[in-house]
Structure formats: C-alpha cells, structure tokens
Structure 1
C-alpha cells in the first residue's frame, strides 16, 4: 500500500508574516489568531530567490537556493522557510524523497507545534513509509499520534507500518483503533480498513480474526463476508466431516458456496453420510447457478450417484433425511424426539432442530434450540444464530 500526499500543502502551510511578498500572502490566507513568523533581514534576499524559483517551478534550482538560504539563516524561522518554500514544487513533481527531506527540515527547525506539528509528522510518516524507511515512519507516526490521537488516518498508517514490521497484533489493533476513532469523532474511515484488519488477522492466525469476521458480517452480511466468517469458524472448530455439513448448509442458505473447494467436501460428506437427496439438490442448484461445470466428469458422476441412491433408498427417513429434502416440519419433529432423549446426541439434535426451524421461518423456536447447544458444536450454533439475526 502506498499513501498519496493528497492536499498536502493545506496541511503544511504554516502561518507567516514577513516582508517578502509570498510570505505575506500566506499570512493573509491564514487564520487571524495564528502565530506570526517573520524571517530575519539577513535571510530575506536568499529566501526571496528561493521563493521565486519555487513559484516558477524551477525544481533543478531548488537544492542550491535552499542551501544558500540555510547558510545565511539566523533564526529557526529562517530555517523553517528555507524548507517550507520547497514543498509545492516537490509535491508537483511527485518527488517523495525530496518532499520528505523538506518536511523533516521544517520539523527540525522547531517552529511547528500542536496541530501543525501533528500534520507534518503525519505526512512525514506516510512519505517515509512509501520510501521504505519503516523505522523513521514509525517514529514520525508516533509523534503525530501523540499530538493528535483522534486522527483515524494516522492509526491506519501505524497499522500498515506494524504490518510491514511483522508486528501483526499491533497492526490489527491500530486498524481497529482507526475505525473506533472514526466512529467516535464522526470522521469518515475507508470501509476497506475493516477488511484489511481481518485479512492481517486471518493470514497470521490471530485469535481476533473471528471477532473481526463477525463484525464485518454484522455490518455487511454479503456472501463474501458470510463465507469468510463460516470458513474461519470451520478452521477454528477443528470439526469432524459430519459436523462440517452444518456449516456447509449455512453456506448454502447464505449463497456463499464458492467453487469446487466448497462443493466437493459438502457433496462428498452428504454421500458418505447417506444423504443422497440433499447431495442431488445441492448439485442441481450449483449447476443452475453456474457455480459448477455440469459437464465435468467428477460432477456428472457425483450427480449420477446421488440420483441413483436417492431413487433406490427404501430406508425409513430420519431428521437428517427430512432436512436434506427440505421437509423442515418433519425434520423438526424428528429432532425434537432425539433431543428429548438427552445425552451426547442432544447437542446434535438441538443444533439441527434449530437449523430446521430457521429454514421454516420459526425464528423464536430456532433461537431457543440453537442457544441450548453446548460443547464444541456451540460454535456452529452461534453462526446459525447470527444468520437468524442478520439474514433470516
């Protein structure tokens, strides 16, 4: 990620009152209460020459003229202007290294304070980040946040610096802070920041990844966010193949099954479990939606197997069979009977009772059943509860 210096000059123009024309013009545009800066008489000719070159965009002349101005500088204000006058042409030329050097000179002069110093160190940090100077970027962003802790953009840059430094928990925390600060202060924060925080947490297996996935899902229950949250739950839960079926079922109802990597374990698990009717229905939906290539031998064979087994199945249906066929009322009745027996099977029965009731539209009944699920499958139940809250 590269941070652009948009509208940088507005942040860098420090109020000035000086006898040289352009410096006086800056004073007129500045707030009346701002401090007045006046360069020394000794430095004014050199500063005027530098200012003229900057106004004419003679970038090649700037290094020598700025050095000449610094050589005669008598005060911190003189040094400040010797660097500040270089900003506009360097920004126009998109010369990040030279812009950074000018900003660092302004900071080192000791003139900027408060919000001006926060702006300068903020932009110094992002320019240092862009040029690969991570330690310098880290120092400057720390200084900027010390002056203005309510700048969400500064927290975003801090997060990206930490990520580059492989300080992943701190990176995620900084991006979370950016979102929190933006919400608290009413400042707009790029919605991709939450996705960025999740990506860093997910890729580096941080425990906070699940919370971030759920937060993203609640904020925007899109198919992509559903898939991310469900897959994370699958990984964290270390479930058996038969338990994963209930997460695949949630992907099915949220339309978040994507490609062969999702469909194969789902359909294979259904056939292994003896649920060819559901396998057939899943494949038929995938073909109709264009998510699987129905001419591919693997899927043709699986569909043929599911169809044949479904047609020849003479066994008495149970809750799972009814659920797979979409007969949610009969599935719920069967699962209630199983749950009433108690024991180890009660959690499975209550989980699938909740699923059957959720699919039938009985939100209250589904919620009660899912909330009663304990043990390892409680994580799966929590995802179905989230479905009831956000999508059902």
Structure 2
C-alpha cells in the first residue's frame, strides 16, 4: 500500500539542515508568501536519514535500529509525523504487518497527517485488522473510513467479507451487491468469484429464492457450462427435496442441461435416457445415449446402455410414424393427445411440428398449462422464434416450473448458449 505522506519524509530529509533552518535569499524577499518553516532537530534528522537509507538498501536491522533512535529523538508532532512515515517505509520493506499497523495508527493520530489521507489510512488499517482476525477492529476502521469519504468498490467487498465471515448473510450479500453495482456503474466486469461467494453463502443459509436470483445474475454475465450445471443441479436438488419437481419437469430440466452443455457424467446421461424412455420418448432416449457416447461419457463397456438403446429402437419401430397421431390429436375432445404428440415431436427433433401441436393442446384445453407452455417455449426457441418462446415461458406461473421457465428464458437471452 502507498500513501502520499510517505513521500513527505523523503522530501524533507532530502532538503538537509540548512534548508530547514534558513530560507534562501530569494525567499527572504517573499516572507509574506512563505509557509511556516519546518524545524527538525539534528539528532532526529541524522537518525531518520540513516534509517531511510538503510530501508532502501534492504538493511532492515539497521533501519529498525535507526528508527528507534529517531523515535527517541522526536520531540514535536512534525518529527513524530516523519518518524511514522519512516516506520511505514521500514514496515513495507520488511513486510512487517505489526509494524505497519503501528505506523498507520501513529499517522491517523498525528495532527500533521493531511485530512484527505485519513480515509485511506483508516481503510488500510481495517485491512490489517481483518488479516489479524480482529473483526471488531476491522469493522470500526472500515466504518470510520466510510465516514471520512472513502469511496471504492473494494470497501463494500471488504465489508461483505467481514459480514459473511461473521454469519451475517443478509448484510454481507447486501454489501457484495453494492460492490457489484459499483463495478457495473464503472463499466468494469464483475468477477465470477463474487457471484460464487454470494450463491454459496445464500445456499448454506437455506435461502432458495435469493440463491436462484443470484444464479440467474451470474449466468447473465458468465453463461458457462460450469455455471449452468451448478445452477440447474441446485434447482433440481432443491425441488426434489420439496417433492415438487416430478418426472415431467425433471425431463425439461435435463433438456436444458443438454442445451447448455451441463451434462458431464455417465450417471446423468443414463438417468436422462432412462427417464425419457419411461415417459414414452424413445427418440430422445436414443439421442441422449448417442450424445453421451460421442462425448466420451458413456463407454462402450457400459452394456446397460446398449440394452436401453435397443429397447428404445424397438419402441420407435413399433410406434411407427408420428404423423399417424396428427389427425387423432386434432379430433380429440381435449388437448391431452395433442400435448403428447407435441412432446414426441420435440423428442424427435421436429421443433416446428412440436410447437404446432403444443399450441393446439392449449386451444383444446384439459392440459397442464404450465407444462405445455414450458414445452411450447422450448419448441419455439428451437424453431428460432425467440420472442414467441419468451412469451410462452412468461405464462408459466406455478412453482417450480416458473423458475425452470426463467432459466430457459435466460438461455434464450444468452449470446453464448442460445441457438
């Protein structure tokens, strides 16, 4: 850390004794314009000059010895001010945080320290207190720095860390949010780790709504496969705990994981493929197994997937053409068959036909509106009809599908993952 006052010592010591005790001839003619002369006693000056020279040369032992002499020789506030500056230099050169804390304390207390430096001094003293595990002291210095006008995103980040370490999740996340807003206002990128910090703390504190909101914020800035995986697994596991997800919504969660590259292991590919098969979607079962193999996640030695794929292929042959269901769906009394037909088209990769029959299902009624609107949004999105897809997702209101629809909307808006 650096301070303006640090250079004051070097400047004063460089002037020498004559400059400090007598004004030049030209200056004598302008006494009214002169600032008061600084009086430094010879013993202090000699010790301080020797201490600074040793510190710059890396001779810390000599620098500390001369510093002790300077302390003993200092009799005025201005000499003590320069001694504090020398202590700061020695502390920085020796990486001695205890000595650095003492130097800053002396500078804070000294009347010769410029007022504009007090905020930064208190802030840096707070960092030292935080590093020393003195949370109460750190809080005091940070708050004082803020009162004195310290204004930097790092302040809110430090306060966030302080609050979170103290178990004050709401206050800590609020401070972190302020730091993020300051970054955004300054046109600077928000570090991914800041989002991770908020998400982890909110998750531990069992705040699901806030956790989900922060995950969506993170995905807007960092729509990586890793972040998508984390967000969707947390969503899925939380919904499972509440027994609210069910097979249908779970399938649509897997579908989003597939789109975002968030499927990363054999067990997930296997669960997804089996779920699709159990729900009567053999086309999707085959596609997921093939993708898992192509990605190197399902090895050839995993014979259970060979059996599952064979079963799915037999189902496709027995099912015949999906078009045979078109007329039946249109003539049905309600939209249930149309919704099933649409989902089969979606599983088969025919998004345009899927969208057509999901819309028919909604017109006929008698279906789960949230489920059908979620899948209509997926079909429209995969058909390139982005705004219509977003409108369909917006109609999903029941939990937990409304949150899932929000993730699908975010995927649509993400330039790195949208198709």
Corresponding residue of 1:241:
247
Return the match for 2:376 from 349, 353, 357: 353
Corresponding residue of 2:211:
209
Displacement, 1:12? 5.8
Displacement, 1:284? 0.7
Change in CA separation of 1:55 and 1:374 when aligned onto 2, cut-off 3 Å: closer
Question: SS state of the match for residue 375, structure 1?
Answer: coil
Change in CA separation of 1:182 and 1:287 when aligned onto 2, cut-off 3 Å: same
Larger Rg computed on CA atoms: 2
Displacement, 1:245? 1.1
Corresponding residue of 2:45:
44
Corresponding residue of 1:3:
none
| Cα pair 1:15 1:37 within 8 Å, conserved | no
User: TM-score normalised to the size of structure 1?
Assistant: 0.82
Return the match for 1:13 from 6, 14, 25: 6
Task: Map 1:90-169 to 2 at 5 A.
Answer: 90-169=91-170
Per-residue CA deviation, residues 79-129 of structure 1 (Å, 9 max, x unaligned), is 232232133343233333333332233223354354412222222232333
The CA distance in 2 between the partners of 1:199 and 1:189, in whole Å, is: 17
Corresponding residue of 1:79:
80
| Cα pair 1:12 1:119 within 8 Å, conserved | no
Corresponding residue of 1:296:
302
**Root-mean-square deviation over aligned CA pairs:** 3.2
| Cα pair 2:361 2:367 within 8 Å, conserved | no
Displacement, 1:255? 1.9
Structure 1 segments unaligned to the other structure (5+ residues): 1-7, 28-34
Corresponding residue of 2:292:
286
Change in CA separation of 1:132 and 1:37 when aligned onto 2, cut-off 3 Å: farther
2:225 aligned with 1:223, yes or no? yes
| Cα pair 1:62 1:86 within 8 Å, conserved | no
| Cα pair 1:22 1:51 within 8 Å, conserved | no
The CA distance in 2 between the partners of 1:23 and 1:332, in whole Å, is: 86
The CA distance in 1 between the partners of 2:215 and 2:355, in whole Å, is: 30
| Cα pair 2:355 2:376 within 8 Å, conserved | yes
The CA distance in 2 between the partners of 1:140 and 1:262, in whole Å, is: 50
Question: SS state of the match for residue 117, structure 1?
Answer: helix
The CA distance in 2 between the partners of 1:98 and 1:291, in whole Å, is: 56
Corresponding residue of 2:408:
384
Displacement, 1:251? 1.5
The CA distance in 2 between the partners of 1:189 and 1:289, in whole Å, is: 32
Displacement, 1:253? 1.5
Displacement, 1:285? 0.9
2:354 aligned with 1:337, yes or no? no
